[in-house]
Homo-oligomer: A and B are copies of this chain.
């Protein structure tokens, strides 16, 4: 499929809600004066639905408001309004297994960086069929590359805020692709591992599960939180501590986590290939899938009913 065909497909398959008005993708437009467009002055969340059930939606909304706090983006809309509009959009899309992206911008203002002049938000909800990830990423595993592009520092543009400033990650993935890898891992200014471009990173060494702490400069993943909960509930040995690239490269197993990808094994980082036997990773995938099934069975927000 060529690139324009992919966009046409995206336009056709997507249902978009802009400030309460629902349209098809090709009509979904925003003012070029919107601060999200001019400065990346926005926050967002991505989640998905399964058979009409939104996954960990409360947690995503909570983090959306935390991102707003991080960048002092005043929310002129309520959580309830976002829930209502998201469910309305999903219902209208009729997609049972959907990708859901919620964007809140600091709205339209005069052309000025000063955020104090903001007095409204633009709320954009994108709903489209959940993309199917390359099955190779689950079987063979991901090939990753430790990018030379450093992660934004917590004191500059804090990665804990899921904002519209994603050029840092765009640059890192470009770097990884150039090296032939599927995606990138980024280090902070002190050389410690932070996260991938759109996922958290984990390693297993002598049965201990290790992931970098938020203080290393990363987004506190919802799936990351769930894995920690699951591991503790199952009395697994889990720890958050700063990780060097060398430690990561000498791990027994490595995997990544993300809301849309779930848990994916890592096959290779740079030129280091990990063992094909992934006892601990496979065990966590099993436990996570059980947890997800349980979550869905308890859901009271099926938008198809």
Contacts and interface: CB of A to CB of B under 8 A. Distances in A.
Interface in A46-64: none
Given A114-B177, A157-B167, A168-B156, A36 B37 contact: yes
Contacts of A99: 111
A31 B32 contact: no
A110 B7 contact: yes
A72 B177 CA distance: 13
A39 B163 CA distance: 8
B41 A30 contact: no
Contacts of A109: 3, 6-7
Q: How many copies does the complex hold?
A: 2
A82 to B, nearest CB: 16
Contacts of A170: 39, 41, 71, 113-115
Contacts of A4: 119
B174 A32 contact: no
A174 B30 contact: no
B173 A113 contact: yes
A28 B31 contact: yes
Given A32-B18, A115-B173, A173-B113, A155 B149 contact: yes
A74 to B, nearest CB: 11
Interface in A166-193: 166-171, 173-174, 177, 189
A114 B150 contact: no
Interface string A15-29: 010100000010011
A153 interface: yes
Interface string A264-275: 000000000000
A30 B29 contact: yes
Contacts of A169: 39, 113
B164 A156 contact: no
A138 interface: no
Contact of A32 (B28, B117, B177): B28
A213 interface: no
Interface in A104-152: 108-111, 113-117, 119, 124, 126, 128, 148-152
A83 interface: no
Given A11-B33, A113-B198, 5 more contacts: A38-B166, A39-B40, A71-B167, A148-B155, A151-B156
5 contacts: A10-B111, A29-B30, A111-B128, A153-B153, A156-B189
